[in-house]
Every structure is written in C-alpha cells, then in structure tokens.
Structure 1
C-alpha cells in the first residue's frame, strides 16, 4: 500500500448527499487536517429523498446539494461535484462507469473512497440499491476502466483525459473491514456535517448518541479500546 505520507489527493464517490457523512465524515476530517486534498463526487442530487414538507419536489435536489456543500465544509472539503444522475434509478451501467472514470481521470487521486457493492441483509439501510450500484460501478472504474486508455475512448480522444491508476481503494460499510480510523478527536465535526443535512436529519432525535454508539462499537471491534470512536473500511490494493 502507498505510504500515508505519499497520499496527497483523495476522491470520494457516493450515491447521495449525506452518504459520506454517515460513513466517513470523521475520517475525511482527519485527512484534511493532515493537509490532504479531498474531492467529493456525488452521483445523484438526492432528489428522490425525503425533504421538508413545504419544499417543492422540483427544488429538493438543489436543497440537498446545498446541504452537502455545507456539510463538506465542516470537514474541510471545498471541492464537491455532482454528476446529476437520477436518484433511486441507478444501475452499474457502462455509462455510470464512464462518468466515474472521468472524475478519476480529472482528479487523479492517490486513494479513492467508495460504497460497498455488497448486499448485507443485516444492514439493509446501508445496502440501498443506489449505494450498491455506485459501489459496483466505482470499483469497475478503478479497475479496469480509468487506467485503460482504450476504455471509454471518448474520455481521451474528445476530452483529453489521460488514463489514471488509483493505487488504493477504501470501501465503506464493508463486511470485511481491515482498517479503522480513530475519529474521537473530530467526532464533533462528523456530527456537525450530518446536522448540515437538515432535510434528512433535522427531525431525528438522539442522532449524536446514535452516531457515538455506532462509532464506539466499531472502535471496540477494531481493537482501539474503550472510550474511542472509529470508522472502519476495507482497504484494497488497486495498484
């Protein structure tokens, strides 16, 4: 795996606004605190999600994009890109693989963070079909698409985007997590990021305690000890 000191730029790819904040906002805060540039690529604008009752459906996507931009700032991220695919209708198509490959070639990251493509019936909310579709398309974009100059040739021929190999892939909500990140010292920023998604979390009572409970359980499972809070990932060598 690349030495942590070699990591200069990280790309995060998720299906919806707020996905990264539930799964990895604390970890992202530790990265930006270390001087690493982090870029978000959000495949949909969350336009099929629940929102404030008085928000017209036509304005939900714009609202959720604004919430994600505000949440990103809480953890030190200022480059947030929306791919504007239809919320709730994602499949791991060649077109989605191409669009994620495009962002990979634009950003040229040393590490990428993506959702898992696994269906986990014990954690059904984390296994939203859009999450799994983006996970499958994103790992296909990492290998083989983005590194292959003959895959999606229009990216090179029409857009001038050279092939790029992502050396390391981190997977959120994976059953076989092998990397824990201690987020105890930045937990308040994870909470703030999620509170920025007011249309999704504004009416949720006890959210901070819920997040703390989840993070404490992860820390204990990963051997970080008591009174610590963590997020965990499956790290895959994709050099």
Structure 2
C-alpha cells in the first residue's frame, strides 16, 4: 500500500531548513506545532542570520544578533528548542557546494526522517514568497537530501569527521506553485502558537498590526481550497525521497 503524502508514520525527527529567521514562522509554524504535539523532535537550521532584514533604525551591526534571538523565541512558542544558524550572508545566498555541504552535515547530525524547506521553484502567482535566497536554499536542500546526505562518497571530509550517511524519507516544500501542492495541514488548533511565533519577530512584524488578521485570512483561504472549509491550513508539496 502506498503511504499517502504527508503521512507521519515512522516520523521521529524532522529538520526545517530555511533561508532567514521568520521564514518557518510565516510558512510552516502551525504545521511544526502539530508535529511537536505528536511527539516529533524538530530542529531548525537557518542558513542566514537575517542581517539584511528590518524596517527601522536598528543598527546594522545589531540586526543579526537580534534576529537570532527572535528566532529562538519564535521556535520556543511552537515547542522547538534546537535552533542552528549556518551564517551565510543574507541576500546573497547561492546553492553552491559549500551550502550543500553545510546542510548535508546538519542532516547527518540530526538524522531526520522528514525535511521541510522552501520550494526551489518560482511561484508566479505569489512572487513575494519566491525570494532568491528561498529558492537557493530550497535547491541546496534538495541536493543535500538527494544525493549528498545519503552518499558516503559525497563530502568525504564529513565521513572522516564521523558524520555517517543518512537517507531522508520525506521532503516537504513550502511556497510551492499551487499546481505542485499535494498536502495541506489543519493548524486550527495551533493558530495561537503560530501567531505568537510571528510576534516574536518584532524587528520584522511590529509595524504590521494587521498581520494576525491577514495571516488568518490567508490560512482560511488555503483550507477552503483544500477541502477544509471553516478551518485554517498550511499547504505543501510533499515528495517521497526514500
């Protein structure tokens, strides 16, 4: 029998790989909260520290530290305590061999059955979610999932350092074009946690008093499109990578 997209059967650990602090909270924090509630151990891997973000006069030299602190607080709001930062430069992320190696290393460390990341495709109907950093991280994570993390002969320096190969079973991609979406998660019972996570990113969201209402409206429309009227949902392109 084929396992349906999004099945949590056998999922003990999940890794979320995003470009910036706050990316997971806008796209997937409600879903992460459902995983944590189900007993899944979740790790965040943030490829940059968000140093090019912000909307006010916060000194540039303070922004990276501030955003790392905000992401840790946001993670705690949905029950995640393991948050890692790779330190790549915000706004200049490319899917090069260095980023692939960094992500493959984290996969081999965490050994997740499920990885969630950005879609590497452009979403032409909602271009704002297709930031170049997002697409680069999605492309690099896809390569890290297959073939890098599972191939003992890829990055032999990782093997020499004790990072054994690991095969990820599921790849979840947020921000995918609508025609790719094949799984939606009902997050209605976790909306307070998602909104608390977003509120933790004050350097990015404090100027948006309308944000909670806008987020709930978006989630309601997503649920309606995917057969859950009256509920709130986040949607993904889920691929079996085993």
Establish whether TM, by shorter chain, passes 0.5.
Answer: yes
- State TM-score, norm by structure 2: 0.95
Deviation, 1:123, is: 1.3
Matches within 5 A, 1:26-105: 26-53=30-57, 55-105=58-108
Residue 167 of structure 1 pairs with residue 169 of structure 2: yes
Identify the residue that residue 213 of structure 2 maps to in structure 1. Answer: 209
Is the contact made by 1:180 and 1:233 (CA closer than 8 Å) also made in structure 2?
Answer: yes
Structure 1 stretches of at least 4 aligned residues deviating more than 3 Å after TM superposition? none
Identify the residue that residue 196 of structure 2 maps to in structure 1. Answer: 192
Is the contact made by 1:51 and 1:60 (CA closer than 8 Å) also made in structure 2?
Answer: no
Give me the whole-angstrom Cα distance separating, in 1, the residues matched to 2:185 and 2:124: 25
Is the contact made by 1:16 and 1:42 (CA closer than 8 Å) also made in structure 2?
Answer: yes
Deviation, 1:51, is: 4.6
Deviations 1:199-229 (A, max 9, x none): 000011211110011100110111112x200
Query: Structure 1, unaligned stretches of length 5 or more?
Result: none
Give me the whole-angstrom Cα distance separating, in 1, the residues matched to 2:209 and 2:125: 23
Identify the residue that residue 127 of structure 1 maps to in structure 2. Answer: 130
Identify the residue that residue 137 of structure 1 maps to in structure 2. Answer: 140
Give me the whole-angstrom Cα distance separating, in 2, the residues matched to 1:109 and 1:173: 21
Query: Alignment length, in residue pairs?
Result: 236
Give me the whole-angstrom Cα distance separating, in 1, the residues matched to 2:173 and 2:82: 21
Is the contact made by 2:13 and 2:114 (CA closer than 8 Å) also made in structure 1?
Answer: yes
Indicate the RMSD between aligned Cα atoms, in angstroms.
Answer: 1.1
Deviations 1:88-109 (A, max 9, x none): 0011101100000000000000
Change (3 A) 1:180 1:70: same
Is the contact made by 2:18 and 2:118 (CA closer than 8 Å) also made in structure 1?
Answer: yes
**Equivalent position to 2:158, from 155, 159, 165:** 155
SS of residue matched to 1:4: coil
Residue 9 of structure 1 pairs with residue 9 of structure 2: no
Change (3 A) 1:199 1:161: same
Change (3 A) 1:60 1:43: same
**Equivalent position to 2:117, from 114, 117, 124:** 114
Is the contact made by 1:41 and 1:80 (CA closer than 8 Å) also made in structure 2?
Answer: yes
